[in-house]
Amino acid sequence: MDLVLFDLDNTLIAGDSDFEWAQFLIAKGVLERGVYETRNIEFYEQYKAGTLDINAFLDFQLRPLARHPRSVLDAWLGEFMTRHIVPIVGAKARALVRQHLDSGALCAIVTATNSFVTAPLLRELGVAHLIATIPAHENGQFTGFARGTPSFREGKVKRVDDWLEAMGMWWGSFERSWFYSDSQNDLPLLSRVSNPVAVDPDPTLRARAEAAGWPILSLLS
């Protein structure tokens, strides 16, 4: 059996769900535009530059979840997915996922974006497993904090290790492993698999992929 891991943002979808979720809440008037839009753009630029402080970002991204009942958040999320995320899941991305699922591979989406925002996409893509940053909750109410290791940079490797261990497996359980990603932030996990693939990569990842002879794929064109 093969192991196939997919990054989500700017890989399987033509955009960044973390960034777009905050913009969605700003547009609805849930978050104050004057305060949140500038910070949202700053964090996104830091992410693209490979300089993001994940803990500062999670404080920004998760605290608003604690201010609203889960039923309200679920309704907003449904609207967000329908209007902003499902339309940017391209045909090539769907075909790639389906190809690996049909081959019998164990597939998972591995994303830094929190699981509340990203879980609906598993159903959309038919993938059974999600490794994402976990927003903590108590009695159904989000606390505004993350639980455990954020699924970011080296944290993605740890979270995949823990996930495999929980199922009684490890990297050696698989004949081959893939990870598809667009971002330099994913170099730790790309370096861990036997078949790293750069997807519409940022300049740093493109340079690394070209130097290492990794395949470079576009799911946009």
Active site residues: 7, 9
Amino acid at 176: R
Structure tokens of 121? 């996409």
DSSP label of 95: H
Question: Residue 135's beta-bridge partner residues?
Answer: 146
Pairing assessment for the beta strands 216-217 and 106-114 based on DSSP bridges: unpaired
Q: Residues 86, 93: contact at Cβ < 8 Å?
A: no
> Which of 144, 152, 130 lies closest to 46 in space, CA to CA?
152
The count of C-alpha atoms lying within 13 angstroms of the C-alpha of 125, restricted to the half-sphere facing its C-beta, is: 35
